[in-house]
Structure 1
Amino acid sequence: MTENNTITCEKFLPHPPAAVWRALTDPELHARWWAAGDVRPVVGHRFTLDMGNFGSQPCVVTEVDHQRLLAYRFAEGTLDTTLTWLLQPEDDGTRLLLTHSGFDLDSPMGRQAYDGMGKGWPHVLDRLGTVLAETA
């Protein structure tokens, strides 16, 4: 497996960690900036994300630190990657660090997902910022 199998993005959001956390964990808000699904910040919670043309992707929450960290396995059984959202208070806002790890870059599907999501995540984070601004 190729060693650099992780996508890392960060974005400063001029909103408090509580607002960013809500957007990450409230299913209605989550659907507005990324994908519909019954996401909840409860370790062991299983949910699916509706990824449109890519189908419903099963997920399970693996780690929660309220208003600081949310991690879940994404696309279990196919990609088997992990999304980790880390919120860091900064000035009058939040620095959001996203780590999407565990891509199998030796498989065609893993490589395609890595390349596509690497380009797509910055746009998804921009949509998150837009939804936060609309709900502030």
Structure 2
Amino acid sequence: MNDLATPNAYGVLTEPATLTIQRLLPGPIERIWAYLTDGELRRQWLAAGRMEMKVGAPVEFIWRNDELTDPPGERPAGFSVEHRMQSRITECDPPRRLSFTWEGSGDVTFELERQDDEVLLTVTHRRLPDRATQLGVAAGWHVHLDLLVARATGEEPEPFWDGWNHLRQVYERRLPE
């Protein structure tokens, strides 16, 4: 197993403006694909929004991070109760690969790979424009993926914002300037 896929593994900059983070999840692969693509399942760990599975299809992601955990923790200054982002699917190969644009910072790819009865999820976020974005995105993906692990395994997640605030500080030290 790749070191990036250990539980709670940190994201790394695999290129100067590309963050890669992995998680090993309980299968089957179709179940994890549903967590990525079904708006109701996705809203439990990332963001709501209907997704049509075809290249070129628009997607609206709707974040309500205060609703992800109870309690949500303390939301940092500058974040609102709801955030919406318009996106577009750029690649779709069910149940293995999904790519889409990410407003203001490039694009994201989800890759799923069967590993016995588990599934390796690799998230690659490309073209992160600056260090502040890298730090926020790294902390964001990390805490959202921790939520996905909790949802997929039936465990109780930590308060979302407390995790994000802590991880933002950790990534400040971990990611190169």
Give the equivalent residue in structure 2 for 1:46.
58
Whole-angstrom CA distance in 2 between matches of 1:24 and 1:51? 14
Give the equivalent residue in structure 2 for 1:20.
32
Give the equivalent residue in structure 1 for 2:101.
73
Q: Which stretches in structure 2 are left out of the alignment for 5+ residues? A: 1-14, 65-79, 155-177
Whole-angstrom CA distance in 1 between matches of 2:90 and 2:152? 25
TM-score by length of structure 1 reads 0.84
Residue 115 (str. 1) matches residue 115 (str. 2): no
Shift of 1:28: 0.4
With a CA cutoff of 8 Å and minimum separation of 6, indicate the structure with the bigger relative contact order.
Answer: 1
Structure with larger Rg: 2
Shift of 1:39: 2.4
Higher strand share: 1
1:5 aligned partner, one-letter code: A
Whole-angstrom CA distance in 1 between matches of 2:136 and 2:92? 27
1:127 aligned partner, one-letter code: L
Q: Which stretches in structure 1 are left out of the alignment for 5+ residues? A: 106-110
Residue 59 (str. 1) matches residue 72 (str. 2): no
> What's the % identity of the aligned pairs?
30
Give the equivalent residue in structure 1 for 2:120.
95
Aligned length: 124
1:24 aligned partner, one-letter code: L
1:37 to 39, 49, 71: 49
Residue 27 of structure 1 contacts residue 40 of structure 1 at CA under 8 Å; is this kept in 2? no
TM-score by length of structure 2 reads 0.65
C-alpha distance 44-30 of structure 1, shift in aligned 2 (>3 A): same
> Structure 1: which 4+ aligned runs deviate by more than 3 Å?
none
Residue 26 of structure 1 contacts residue 40 of structure 1 at CA under 8 Å; is this kept in 2? no
